[in-house]
Structure 1
Amino acid sequence: MGLGEALSIGGALAWAIAVIIYKRLGETLPPLPLNLLKNLLVLGMLLLSVLALRTPLPHLGALGVGVTLLSGLLGMAAADSLYFAALNKLGAGRAGILGNLYSPFVIVLSVAFLGETMCPQQWLGFALVSMGVLVVGHARGQTLDVDAARMRRGFMQGIAAIFLMAVAIVLIKPWLAGQPLLWMVLLRTLGGLLGLGLVFAWRRQSPLGALRGRRLRWPLLLVAAFIGQYVAVLLWVGGYKYAPATVAAIPQRNQLGVHRVAGGLAAARATDPAQAGRRDLHAGGYFLPAAGLISRYWSRQPSPARRRAQRAP
């Protein structure tokens, strides 16, 4: 497993955990104010990181800066706001299923505009991950009643969000190589804030006015911003920096299983606490085989001492 694939998997897991928190935050905050607060918190974290680590400035021309800002506008302003809206309507489990579209979108766009190709082994990996996602997707999830019109709007918003996420990452992919990762994510965050500012201006609405009278759960906001944006996006963008887009996109579908299981656990506790223990055991059935496969993979890898011994004459 390469560095790019490992970062992609880590980013998917971090985002999947944060989605459950965002679902709770969405109960009291509309999508736009939630996205604004999240991006402002992450911008502060990134600025502190850049200053503390003395990260060198990126060598981007005007076009590169513009493309990076546009990527943030599409991926962090438009896509995240649409996804939060879909999350409120569909719940974590149903919204997670829509992520099935992410890899096909990225692969098609990468092949069409980046000239990337996929070897048979990569297609096999894509098929295996897809099968795993479908298995988890058929598990019992949320049983909340949602009217058909609301669900349709949620699915359309979710599909649009996933497509914009794919466009945003493919757009920035050629500019990632050789650039400091922290600065690229920071510029994307600025682009996201710029996009949100334009939306508030177009709606003639003050961001402070949108937050007035709202209950702000600052501990949850900080945790969600740190895990779901600071950590997840650094790992997510890092995956595309160190691996082809067609490779990095496939492992990131593993988050859907976490969405589905976590959504199901939350629904079980909300609707029938007596079944929560059985749902916990059911969830463990999904994670244990994955943990076993990972442990078997790593157990077959020779230790550093053994590698040195094998290289010795």
Structure 2
Amino acid sequence: MSWWIADYEVPVEKSNRQFDNVSIIEIATGSYVKEAYYAIKLKKLVFYGEWISEETLVKLLLSLWVITAITVIISDRIYLHKQIKLTEERTQRLREANRALYEKSLVFEELAFTDPLTRTRNRHEINDGLSEVTAHSIDGGIPFSMVFIDIDHFKQVNDLHGHRYGDNVLRRFASLINKLVRKSDVFARWGGEEFVIFCPATPLGAAAEFAESIRDCIEQAEWDHDMKITCSMGVAELENEEYNHFIERADKALLKAKERGRNRVEIAWNESQL
């Protein structure tokens, strides 16, 4: 204002309006202005100085958006790649764990169904499937025979030469029979010095001849300490009966072979064959 310029003796060159450091713009009105809403039109507002041009600002914003989008996409891809890699590694570990468990299960299954001494099947495995097999043979009219085997005087073998030698006899005994059985036959250790052979699709006469060949093989084999190892056998063919009765008849034939001097084969004839 003019009085300010006069009172403070402001030079003429500095008495003009100065807008290089404006922080607030106020509009003053005269006195006695009625209270109401007034509209002020601003025709133009121009900023001067070291500002970014509108074109440059737009390009900069677009660049920032593009860079941000690319960064987000790359980050997502890196994250997804890591997740996929982790998933693949986890899947591979699960496969390896499953494979290890499967292999262990096979080992446990073998231990559960295999006699550890003779490496033949054991009685538990035979009992699990025998009922079904015998029923199938009866329904289909298919002959099914079994050979019950017992090593003669095996207790004397253990008493004379010890249980270790007795175990060796059992191993070799099973090995000799394994070389004679067919792929379709089921050879198993029944318990102690007793063994069984189940012969599918085999009539009684053929099973008896097979048993005689086993008896002769065992008798002719050479054993340590010049031992004479022989075996007694009972042979039976499945009739229209439960498998327990079938095994019982073969066992009775085996007992008859022992009673008649051992080292022999006895047959459990059925009524139609007598």
Alignment TM-score, normalising by the size of structure 1:
0.24
User: Greater strand share, 1 or 2?
Assistant: 2
Instruction: Specify which structure has the bigger relative contact order, considering alpha-carbon pairs within 8 angstroms and separated by 6 or more residues.
Output: 1
Alignment TM-score, normalising by the size of structure 2:
0.26
Based on CA coordinates, which of the two structures has the bigger radius of gyration? Answer: 2
User: Greater helix share, 1 or 2?
Assistant: 1
